[in-house]
Amino acid sequence: MARLEGKVAVVTGGASGIGAATVRRLAEEGAAVVVADLQDEKGEALVAELAKAGLRAAYRHCDVAELSQLEEAVACACSEFGGLDVMHNNAAWSGGGYVADIDPEVWRRSLAVMLDGVFYGCKVAIPAMLERGAGSIVNTSSVDGFYGEMLSSPYTTAKAGVINLTRNVAIEYGRKGIRANAVCPGVVDTPLLDVVLQAGTRTREQIADMHALGRVLEPREIANLVLFLASDESSAITGAAILADGGLTAGTRLTGFPTFGGGSYG
């Protein structure tokens, strides 16, 4: 039997990147999935791709900064597929800059998407999961939820907040059968990486070398972790912030000695 047979999931930011990879993995393992995103063309194309493969999915236009639109996404899961078992709060958008130079509207929009949006996702998912008697909430944080990063204070602030919000959901609803965990990726090969490369000073090769694995991560690798946390295989895990960072944060490498097999960054 598939690992999520009979389960229903909502994935925000599900039309591309980690979200799209997660939609595919959950659907492959038997879940019916609502793809919630602002990218209508990509979202509809993903649903059509899954339908062609005999998998169940639906698309809903969704700005996660708007509570009503997340309510509609969960209502779609309940009306079309019978309920909600898995909520993956994954949508992201962020501006940046030096703290004193950030436009307050950019700050507010960044946190509205990446922190308010996760809160709204949890808020609307929990009642639906209580009706089912159980559920798994998986929130996308980041290695930057633990560390600062130059010119990225809206992003790092939101991702740090996601970790503690996740812990609160876990301790408040664990005895009602709801688990909540955060996944904390390193650098993943998504459209966001292209933005970082355009705005930053490191090359793709230098960023890859910062990871102990010597490469950036693939979206499907993070999706596999989300799948595990969504499934009953992770029944003992809740309130966790799990690093899936290819060893990016395993050490400082301040000594400058080369890694085994070569590779170094400065």
> Which residues belong to the active site?
155
CB 145 within 8 A of CB 162: yes
DSSP per-residue string spanning 129-185: HHHHT-EEEEEE--GGGTS--TTBHHHHHHHHHHHHHHHHHHHHHGGGTEEEEEEEE
In the numeric block, the tokens 């008697």 are attached to 133
Q: Phi, psi at residue 56, to the nearest 5°?
A: -100, 130
Question: What count of other Cβ atoms lies within 10 Å of the Cβ of residue 40?
Answer: 12
In the block, tokens 């790092």 appear at 156
C-alpha 26/C-alpha 4 separation (Å) is 7
What is d(CA 106, CA 101) in angstroms, rounded to the nearest whole number? 10
Closest CA to 47 of 39, 57, 55, 34: 57
d(C-alpha 106, C-alpha 218), whole Å: 28
Start-end of H helices in the chain: 17-28, 40-52, 67-81, 104-111, 117-132, 153-173, 191-199, 204-209, 219-230
